[in-house]
Structure 1
Amino acid sequence: MAFQTGEKVLLKVSPMKGVIKFGKNGKLSPRYIGPFEILDCVGSVAYRLTLLRSLSVVHPVFHVSMLKKYHGNKDYIIKWDIVLLDKDLQYEEEPIARCEVGKL
């Protein structure tokens, strides 16, 4: 996976057990935080991120395996005002795109 300078990414924090706590413990702790902007590429598999001041104690360079592309659009969120419910609280699903088996 490769990212471009200026692109937004999420930072994986779940493997940092006991090192960084982000308000909640256990199952409710966030797996990713962000979004953060990529400043530049350091080597072939590491990226320098723009971090918040609250994370100033964390080194700003991360391996590509700890990053996930940030999707800024909200198309994947269900808009409840367009969902039509029957009187028995059921609805009919309408696919928005067709996906072939084996291709995502």
Structure 2
Amino acid sequence: MAPYEALYGRKCRSPIFWEEVGERKIVDPTTLPWIEDAYEKVKIIRQRIQAAQSQQKSYIDNRRKDLEFEDGDRAFLKITILKARIMTGKGKKLKPRIHDVFHVSLLKKYYPDPTHVLQPKDLEIDESLTYKEQPVQLLDRKVKELRRKKISLVKVLWRNHGMEEMA
């Protein structure tokens, strides 16, 4: 029994189950053509919903990959911590919360490659695993003019980054 029916003692009136309030009479659906039309429309709606659901399921199933991890495997974890810093001006409710639990869909398996290993070049990393950036040279300057503002753009060569990272 549905909660509505248990509370009010009658079924909820909806296009799927449209019941008159008051006395109940047994009516032959063939005598009233609109009842038969309503049943046919409900059947068509259910068929179309089922077709849409199966189409969406097949699309998702084709793109889904089964991930299997073993002890010692490495993986990438997709995180969006930096968005929290961008949203500091917004309300507290809109800030993303950090949890120690994440969904497996955020993992991507890592396949080791020796070219991925970076050797640190005299980096002074503190306890929070950060380091201080230091500029080496100013390479280019531009002034971008908007309608009412002028914005200065500066291209900087940083100490721990190469020339290919600037572009």
TM-score using structure 2 length: 0.19
Structure with greater contact order relative to length (CA < 8 Å, sep ≥ 6): 1
Q: Which has the larger radius of gyration?
A: 2
Structure with the larger strand share: 1
TM-score using structure 1 length: 0.27
Structure with the larger helix share: 2
